[in-house]
Amino acid sequence: MGVDLRNKVACITGASRGIGRSISLALAEAGAHVVLISRNLNKLKDVESEIVSSGGKALVVQADLAEEKEIVSAFNEIKSRIKKLDILIGNAGIGKAGKLIDFSIEDFDKIMAVNLRGAYICCQEAMRIMIPQRSGYIISISSVVGFRGYANQSAYSASKHGQMGFIKALAAEAQEYGIRVSAILPGVVDTEFGKAIRPDLDKSVLIPPDDIARTVLYLLSLSEQAMVDQVYVRRMASSPF
Ligand code: NAP
């Protein structure tokens, strides 16, 4: 029961590496025309080459999601070059470990600018394309820290709780247009970021990024009669429920 995404356009933010790269490769393999967004043009082009050499379709759009103007122009490029958007994977994100008492407000602002403000503006722009289409699917890559608090992750956790707040409201607003909104909340994933935020964990217990890509494919595989609001993907070695 593979997912057929031929004729679908999927935009993935933070596509240059880690979870976003895995999701981009998986959606392209399922037939989607993928739009790859992040700041690092060379890394985006590497992902594009991988997709194109396997027969897939990709468009690279360089943008810093901390900048409103760059987000708006990225989505304008999608509108002018591809003319539609079926799927947005809101994945780009940053974080930094540190005790609340020592955390620099400059770092706090940087995290909020990408994870909360940038993610919010991406959803606004996607909705502006999806509402006239009366269809679309927005999947937000949140985190376990979007519903739990972990020591040394206060700013990151606040950004992901905030992201979950607007995603829940958006899900309620989007439904009348036939637009679906879900969140995936992973535990620690084996990426540069995952290893940096939890240096205490051995690589062998981290979730492979391809498992998050498979979770995206699972959500996209459901019929129009079924809806999964959120999926919590925890490390096997962590505590259940
Ligand atoms: P990663 O390997 O560090 O990748 C982060 C991605 O976000 C990169 O593609 C990066 O691209 C992009 N990005 C960062 N800042 C950006 C900006 N200002 N503008 C545009 N793109 C930006 O991290 P990851 O582990 O794959 O994380 C991806 C998402 O999953 C994040 O939202 C993270 O919070 C979430 N998550 C991760 C874990 C984990 O343990 N790894 C667990 C739960 C949730 P450029 O550098 O090219 O801009």
At 189, which CATH number?
3.40.50.720
Specify the residue with its C-alpha closest to ligand 1, atom 10.
14
Ligand 1 center to 225 CA (angstroms): 32
Residue 239 covered by a domain: no
- 159 in Cβ contact with 143 (< 8 Å): no
- The confidence score (pLDDT) of residue 199 equals 92
Q: Spell out the per-residue pLDDT of the chain, length 241, in tens.
A: 689 999 999 999 999 999 999 999 999 999 999 999 999 999 999 999 999 999 999 999 999 999 999 999 999 999 999 999 999 999 999 999 999 999 999 999 999 999 999 999 999 999 999 999 999 999 999 999 999 999 999 999 999 999 999 999 999 999 999 999 999 999 999 999 999 999 999 999 999 999 999 999 999 999 999 999 999 999 999 999 8
Burial (CB count within 10 angstroms: exposed 0-12, middle 13-18, buried 19+), residue 63: buried
Residue 241 covered by a domain: no
Ligand 1 center to 92 CA (angstroms): 4
Ligand 1 center to 144 CA (angstroms): 15
Q: Cα–Cα distance between 200 and 50 in angstroms, integer? A: 32
Residue 93 covered by a domain: yes
Residue 3 covered by a domain: no
Domain count, the chain: 1
Residue 31 covered by a domain: yes
Ligand 1 atom index nearest CA of 17: 9
- The confidence score (pLDDT) of residue 1 equals 67
Residue 67 covered by a domain: yes
Q: Is 156 a known active-site residue?
A: yes
- Cα dihedral angle (237, 238, 240, 241), rounded to 10 degrees? -160
Residue 238 covered by a domain: no
Q: Is the pTM of this model over 0.75?
A: yes
pLDDT of 185-225, one tens digit each?
Answer: 999 999 999 999 999 999 999 999 999 999 999 999 999 99
CA 112 → CA 50, 83, 108, distances in Å?
32, 30, 6
- Which residue range forms the structural domain that includes residue 53? 9-233
Ligand 1 atom index nearest CA of 92: 7
Ligand 1 and 159: CB distance under 6 A = no
Residue 240 covered by a domain: no
pLDDT of 66-95, one tens digit each?
Answer: 999 999 999 999 999 999 999 999 999 999
